[in-house]
Structure 1
């Protein structure tokens, strides 16, 4: 079953409308072709879309000399309201975070996150990147380095050390990134399965002793399931706010599986005072989006970490408001 959900996450896509910034185009450009639409993989990154955008848009809009003079390292994207897109965020996270923010800004709140199917419109600039707002250049080497860093951080939170990542051979570490770059599910998970946990089909009873990693943080000698991890790599994203990150153990002190509702009511009690109660969610106007869907509040965070995490190992929870 876990492979099914991982396959669904991998196959997930979002619609993006790319518009060229008028100030980036030479006067000789063909301005009739002003928008290019892409159905982009959620687990991918904006820099990986650049070759397709250049081939199917920029090279057609500009004359040969102007197109040859364009430097891809100067490219950058922003939303229609001026928000600069982060290169190092997965496209699915960019989409979910943008849409819940856009709905809040426009006072338009969908009755369900399943209605978030409109294209995310991005304005592409070909020059003058805002280096004060971009933490990295769009080069593939820099992007790969950022991905590996995020993966190691997730690995440390899960197991208490980065040993599972650092013990991978260089060919295997390269294979992780190549799997994303080539969008090859089998090649990616052939390596990622060595670092990601597997869901545990059994549920610990009330008061049972939860499995724990070894004192050295290696996790060796324990089961490799989602409830043996030290913490689930989860980030909470609220509109126009820094991400919230903490240690989120998959089991509570009494040995019961921790749920998404437990986590939210603990860390955001004003928005989610009732934990698992969907009635309180509706009363307070808050909803959550993970990988483009609205999961139930009784979803176990251990299962989410094993099944709905991104390729970098993180479960990104976007929080929106509706009236």
Structure 2
């Protein structure tokens, strides 16, 4: 079953409308063609879209001389309602955070966030990137370095060391990246299965003693790779206009009780999620949590989320929004 959820995450897409910023349009441009629509993979990144955007938007809108003079390292994206887009965030996280911010500002979700499929409109600027707000240039080399750093950090949180990541051969590490770049599920998971935990159908029952994490994977037992044997689930909470909340999120308590998403939200956001529920009621909560574009039930176990709904870099990104 876990492979099914991983496949669904991998095949997930989001609608994006790319518009050239008015300041990037010369007076001689064909302005009616200033928008390009893309159905982008959630696990991908904005720099991967640049060749397609250049071919199907910039080269058509701009005159030949202006198009030839473009420097892609100067490109940057901005949300239509404000906010510089981070190159190193997965596209799915950018989309979910964008909708969460829109819901807080405009009561965007009257009933259920899962019913919305509105495109995320981004303004493409072709010059003058805000270097004080962008931590990296949009080069694939820099993006790959950021991805590997995020993957190693996730590896350390899970197992207490980065040995699973650093133990990969260079061809395997390149295979991880190539799997994302080429959007090839089988090639990516051929390597990623050595790093990610798997939910064990025989994982400990409520009240039993959880298995002890083994960062080396020694011993040969399947429980050393169990989602409930990890030291901590790599997970971040994102709220509109606030720094991400990151902590150690073990999948089970010391007494062996499986920790749920609702437990985690109640601990870190008690005003929004008292007793593991939204601010108003379970049937119509004022606060919601979104992972990979869906609202998982608040009784979903954190260990299962880490094994099934994590991004390609190993992180579970939980975006929290408000409803009117």
Report what 1:255 is aligned to.
256
The CA deviation at 1:306 is: 0.3
CA distance in 2, matches of 1:246, 1:296: 21
CA contact (8 A) 2:45 2:90 kept: yes
The CA deviation at 1:266 is: 1.1
RMSD (Å), alpha carbons: 1.5
* Post-superposition CA distance 1:51-90 (Å, at most 9, x none): 0000000001112111110000000000112210000000
Structure 1 residue 86 corresponds to structure 2 residue 75: no
CA distance in 2, matches of 1:184, 1:109: 33
The CA deviation at 1:207 is: 3.4
CA contact (8 A) 1:160 1:218 kept: no
CA contact (8 A) 2:108 2:323 kept: yes
How has the CA–CA distance of structure 1 residues 278 and 208 changed in structure 2, closer, same or farther, with 3 Å as cutoff? Answer: farther
Counterparts of 1:3-22 in structure 2, within 5 Å, are 3-22=3-22
Q: Which runs of 5+ in 2 are unaligned?
A: none
CA distance in 1, matches of 2:22, 2:277: 48
Q: Which runs of 5+ in 1 are unaligned?
A: none
SS state at 2:153 partner: helix
CA contact (8 A) 2:203 2:226 kept: no
Report what 1:307 is aligned to.
308
The CA deviation at 1:107 is: 2.8
CA distance in 2, matches of 1:277, 1:91: 26
The CA deviation at 1:112 is: 0.9
Report what 1:242 is aligned to.
243
CA distance in 2, matches of 1:213, 1:11: 31
CA distance in 1, matches of 2:199, 2:166: 23
Counterparts of 1:34-113 in structure 2, within 5 Å, are 34-113=34-113
The CA deviation at 1:110 is: 3.1
CA distance in 1, matches of 2:108, 2:268: 26
The CA deviation at 1:219 is: 4.1
Deviates more, 1:22-31 or 1:156-165: 22-31
Counterparts of 1:1-323 in structure 2, within 5 Å, are 1-214=1-214, 217-221=215-219, 223=223, 224-275=225-276, 280-281=281-282, 285-323=286-324
The CA deviation at 1:28 is: 2.1
CA contact (8 A) 1:232 1:249 kept: yes
Deviates more, 1:113-122 or 1:197-206: 197-206
CA contact (8 A) 2:111 2:284 kept: no
TM-score, normalised on structure 2? Answer: 0.96
The CA deviation at 1:276 is: 5.5
The CA deviation at 1:285 is: 1.0
TM-score, normalised on structure 1? Answer: 0.96
CA contact (8 A) 1:97 1:237 kept: yes
CA contact (8 A) 1:274 1:280 kept: no
The CA deviation at 1:260 is: 0.5
Q: How many residues align?
A: 321
